Amino acid sequence: MQDKSYSPGVLKYVEEAKKLIAEREAHLAQVKRWKFDTIAVHGLYSVEEALNRNQGAVIEPLYLSSSQAYRDTDELEAALAYLIPTWCYTRIANPTTYYLEWALALLESYKAGHDASCLVTASGMSAIAQAVDPFLVKQKDGPERINFVASVRLYGGAFQHFNVRKAQERGIEVRWVLHPEDMNEWKTKIDENTRFLYMEAPSNPQQSFCDVKALADLAHSWEIPLIFDSTCATPALMRPIAFGTDVVIHSLTKSITAGGMAIGGALISRKPIVTKVKNDHPLFKESFAEYVKLLPYRDNGPAAAPLNAMFALNDLRTLRSRMDLVSQNCQKVAEFLRAHPKVYQVDYLGLPSDKLHPLAKKYMKLVDSDDGKGNEVNRYGHLMSFRVDGPPENARKVLDGFKMIFRATDLGRIKSVATIPAISTHQQQGEEARRMADIPPQLIRLCVGAEDPDDVIADLDQALNSL
């Protein structure tokens, strides 16, 4: 934004930067023609970029510098006014994080009919906070009390963030939707003071789902955005932007960084988003993720660590084939558990008996796959949950009986991990909120990894049979 006049020295740098910008745009146009896997492997890091600027390094370099040096005061001024491409300071941007942001933006908007921009943050939770806060600001002549409408079937941390940080501490009304597949429930909860709709699907741990397109259309009919936590699906299985979603959230900590060595989050926004919140900055509507990055994120400080970005970038390269493999493994395990006499309920969207299966089938498809008849094959991810017969102690006994499967409040791993949400991820929200969200103490959450599924099944079987 050039809202004042600059000296000839500053403008010289603006002129010089045009060449780099043109080079990057030409390359971006090429990358957009690639298939999903190619984008995941290379992102924007080209042979030219390696040879001309990074000593030929085949892998994106890890920049562990907190800040960038400038040639003189003119370049410094141009950079800090965001007039030239710059990364400046790692709280705002970093060259390694830049490659991850672009790869995610391109994958999430792949064949979605819209461009997207991305902001990578320190964690999934900070991505959620950064995504919702700009819509909750006080407006001139606005109402005393504003609200947002959210599915109650959320990751425990997101529930706490909304219920405690937003509702209890800031007096913002959260209107919970108990059955997000029921469009009527959403409709009855929205009014003119609603700032956005918030959905997570498939939800962790209940495997809740909704009609994504209908929900985005409903949000837009009120001129508000749909914010969608798509952590469990990843862009390999669903790209909510293709169905009208405005802002997509990922905990990069999960399936995207399946190796399990880093925490991270991402906020990806469609260009443009729908909102009636007034904000003078042109990027607010046009490129929301960039707006957040350049302003509130800069001022709030939940910066991603470049090393963590590197881990995410590296695991991201094989996202599609990995999600295919672990989804198939999970399907096999879910079918085994469904037939097990000690298990009274299995929630996995891939099971044809699941009441939300037909809805999920419409949306969850392995990108760039082919069933031989020109359609993409359905894949439902690797998170599932099952409920063990008898008192809650039985679920604890089964969890304690695992010999290979790790007991951890973790998911999305290349290794199988399991937990009981009622005593871990969803402990803090209390019994009543757990009842609303359908998380009984008999429920074990299982995320199936890339082991041979027969070995996962054998471990589950011996643990269940010890009851």
Ligand X SMILES: *Cc1c(COP(=O)(O)O)cnc(C)c1O
Nearest approach, Cβ of residue 249 and ligand X (Å): 7
- DSSP-assigned letter for residue 243: G
Residue nearest to ligand X (CB): 124
Which residue lies nearer to ligand X by CB, 86 or 203?
203
Q: How far is the CB of 198 from ligand X (least distance, A)?
A: 11
156 binds ligand X (CB under 6 A): no
Q: Is 242 in the site for ligand X (CB under 6 A)?
A: no
200 binds ligand X (CB under 6 A): yes
Stretch touching ligand X by CB under 6 A, among 139-147, 177-185, 248-256, 427-435:
248-256
**Shortest CB 332 distance to ligand X, Å:** 23
**One of 224, 263, 333, 446 touching ligand X (CB under 6 A):** 263
Residue from 166, 254, 270, 285 touching ligand X (CB under 6 A): that is 254
Q: Counting contacts by CB under 6 A, is residue 231 touching ligand X?
A: yes
Note whether 328 and 177 are within 8 A (CB). Answer: no
Least gap, CB of 202 to ligand X (angstroms): 9
Q: Give the C-alpha separation, 464 to 467, whole Å.
A: 6
Nearest to 159 by CA among 353, 455, 425: 425
Beta-bridged to residue 267, according to DSSP, are: 119, 249
Residue type for 280, please? D
Strands 247-251 and 265-270: antiparallel
Residues sharing a CB contact under 8 Å with residue 178, sequence separation 6 or more, in sequence order? 152, 185, 436
Q: Which of residues 425-444 bind ligand X (CB under 6 A)?
A: none
**Count of residues engaged in binding ligand X, rule: CB under 6 A:** 16
Under the binding rule (CB under 6 A), the answer on residue 382 touching ligand X is no
The residues, any chain, with a CB within 8 Å of residue 339's CB and separated by 6 or more, are: none
Q: Is 204 in the site for ligand X (CB under 6 A)?
A: yes
Contact set for ligand X, span 107-146 (CB under 6 A): 123-125
- Give the Cβ contact number of residue 224 at 10 Å: 24
Q: Could you tell me which residues come within 8 angstroms of residue 221 by beta carbon, excluding any fewer than 6 positions away?
A: none
Q: Does 413 bind ligand X (CB under 6 A)?
A: no
Residue type, 229: D
What would you report as the CA-atom Rg of the chain, rounded to the nearest whole angstrom?
A: 23
Told to check if 253 binds ligand X by CB under 6 A, we report yes
Q: How far is the CB of 180 from ligand X (least distance, A)?
A: 14
Q: Does 265 bind ligand X (CB under 6 A)?
A: yes
The CB-of-319 to ligand X minimum distance in angstroms stands at 16
What CA–CA distance (Å, rounded) separates 58 from 275? 41
